[in-house]
């Protein structure tokens, strides 16, 4: 039974993809994606209960799920359920407007299911090699989703995504090879198995390991949207369909950062905490400063959300640099809170684009008067994103700040918080212009707009409610976060 549970998060989306391949996208199959995501979430919760007593393995040790993996599976399932619950209404609107066909919707659904399977495999992998393959698979699948609209901008964004992320993944592959070389020259010959690498980390050659870790952190950091190889993210997230943007920003970036965290555990045991701390601090501050500088004068609300994702990945990098149980638990809580809030905002942005025909901030006015429920979701989503209570991002950012000031990184933490305040002000200023005021002339000026579909509205509200509930009390997640933080600090 345990083996079956471990296979479900990967196998269920693959089964969903087969359903769409055979039957296509139609009313009878429109909700298969949501059912698949709900199954992944349910299996993840059961796995989290199971691994509380210790890690579980399956398929001759190829899959190994511990508390950290179980938490990431919950994040994948929760954000995927949010995105796929809003997908049928999004696709119907695209088909009605003539921008998509039933065949496009079927292809979209197949790729999304394979995307979920690849991400679930990445966080369930027992060794670095399988993780690398799974992350590379997400690049291949999502490239087609980014270019789904087949406009010039979408195709350019897809190619940019493939080129830059392939560069990063190539660096990660070189790092994987070097780390494997170092592991083969230890008494235990650990190979690429996570548990074996951690156990034999103290015997790894420091010189080779240092180069390998730098390549792995920069390589997987590219997929996580961290500077300096971040340039693919704004284009890809702004051109992808809204449900795909929600999944890429809310889950894919975090899955890539999960790989960085796993590598950091090995690096800290082999080299001490100083090497990865310096590397992550540099990437964190660079990402935060970049996001702030480009958000101040941003004119496109989808790109605004994309640059915000770079900011939050920078905060996760800062938390990883700080280290310690509090910082790691806060980082994981931040992953979930950011995923839910960003999922709500990208889905809302997709609806705004469908009803106004523009992604320019200046051309969207009076949204609160014309679409109050949608405007409310956008407004509260931004408040959740900038870390206002009671949303969980407030609790996670507070935890990161407390850990940062207590760890000797006070000046770095203070600088990061100052940049975060600037970003928050920019987000509020841009969003308030969209929600308030009178509609402008031209695109977005129509007063009669379609109402937000019930299913989509329910998904958006539910995402915000869960984000707020977790901020008030993590509840059963607290024990899982504690166990996962122990894994990341090498105490378990």
What single string gives the DSSP state of each residue in 163-206? Answer: HHHHHHHHHHHHHHHHHHHHHHTSTT--TTBHHHHHHTGGGS-H
List pLDDT tens digits, range 438-463: 766 654 454 456 788 999 999 999 99
pTM, two decimals, is 0.95
**Please, which residues have CB within 8 angstroms of residue 147's CB and are 6 or more apart in sequence?**
154, 155, 157, 158, 159, 239
pLDDT tens profile 285-317: 999 999 999 999 899 999 999 999 999 999 999
Measured in degrees and rounded to the nearest 5, phi and psi for residue 186 equal -110, 160
| pLDDT higher than 80, residue 2 | no
As given in the structure block, the two tokens for residue 28 are 């009878």
d(CA 49, CA 465): 24
Tally of structural domains, the chain: 1
- Asked if residue 141 has pLDDT above 60, the reply is yes
Q: Domain of 205?
A: 3-489
pLDDT (tens digit per residue) in 325-358: 999 999 999 999 999 999 999 999 999 999 998 9
Look at phi and psi of residue 225 and say left if phi exceeds 0, alpha if psi is from -120 to 50, else beta. Answer: left
Residue showing tokens 């999304």: 112
Say what the pLDDT of residue 191 is.
Answer: 79
CA 292 – CA 346 distance, rounded (Å): 19
Handedness of CA 92, 97, 103, 108 (dihedral sign): negative
Question: Which residue is listed with tokens 């938390």?
Answer: 319
């Amino acid at each position: 039974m345990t083996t079956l549970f471990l296979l479900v998060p990967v196998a269920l989306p693959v089964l969903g993809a087969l359903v769409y391949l055979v039957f296509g996208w139609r009313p009878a199959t429109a909700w298969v994606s949501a059912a698949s995501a709900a199954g992944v979430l349910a299996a993840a919760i059961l796995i989290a209960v199971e691994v509380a007593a210790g890690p579980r393995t399956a398929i001759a040790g190829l899959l190994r799920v511990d508390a950290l993996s179980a938490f990431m599976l919950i994040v994948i399932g929760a954000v995927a359920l949010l995105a796929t619950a809003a997908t049928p209404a999004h696709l119907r609107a695209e088909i009605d407007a003539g921008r998509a066909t039933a065949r496009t919707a079927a292809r979209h659904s197949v790729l999304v299911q394979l995307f979920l399977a690849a991400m679930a495999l990445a966080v369930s992998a027992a060794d670095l090699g399988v993780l690398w393959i799974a992350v590379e698979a997400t690049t291949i699948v999502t490239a087609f989703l980014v270019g789904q609209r087949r406009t010039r901008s979408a195709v350019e964004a897809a190619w940019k995504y493939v080129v830059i992320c392939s560069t990063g993944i190539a660096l990660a592959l070189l790092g994987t090879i070097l780390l494997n070389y170092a592991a083969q020259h230890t008494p235990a010959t650990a190979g690429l198995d996570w548990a074996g690498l951690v156990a034999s980390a103290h015997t790894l050659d420091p010189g080779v390991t240092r180069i390998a870790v730098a390549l792995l952190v920069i390589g997987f950091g590219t997929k996580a949207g961290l500077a300096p190889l971040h340039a693919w993210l704004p284009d890809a997230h702004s051109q992808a369909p809204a449900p795909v943007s929600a999944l890429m920003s809310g889950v894919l970036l975090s899955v890539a950062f999960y790989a960085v965290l796993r590598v950091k555990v090995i690096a800290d045991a082999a080299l001490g905490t100083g090497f990865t701390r310096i590397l992550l601090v540099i990437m964190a501050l660079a990402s935060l400063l970049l996001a702030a500088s480009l958000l101040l004068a941003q004119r496109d609300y989808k790109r605004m959300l994309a640059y915000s994702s770079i900011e939050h990945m920078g905060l996760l990098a800062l938390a990883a640099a700080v280290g310690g149980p509090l910082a790691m638990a806060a980082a994981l809580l931040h992953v979930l809170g950011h995923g839910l809030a960003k999922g709500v905002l990208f889905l809302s942005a997709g609806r705004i684009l469908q009803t106004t025909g523009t992604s320019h901030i200046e051309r969207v006015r009076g949204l609160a008067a014309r679409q109050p429920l949608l405007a409310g979701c956008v407004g509260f989503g931004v408040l959740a994103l900038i870390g206002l209570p009671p949303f969980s991002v407030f609790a996670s950012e507070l935890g990161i700040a407390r850990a940062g000031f207590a760890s000797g990184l006070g000046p770095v933490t203070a600088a990061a918080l100052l940049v975060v305040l600037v970003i928050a002000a920019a987000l509020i200023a841009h969003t308030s212009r969209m929600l308030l005021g009178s509609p402008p002339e031209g695109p977005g000026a129509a007063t009669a707009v379609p109402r937000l579909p019930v299913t989509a509205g329910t998904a958006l509200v539910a995402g915000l409610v869960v984000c707020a509930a977790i901020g008030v009390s993590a509840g059963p997640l607290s024990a899982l976060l504690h166990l996962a933080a122990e894994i990341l600090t090498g105490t378990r």
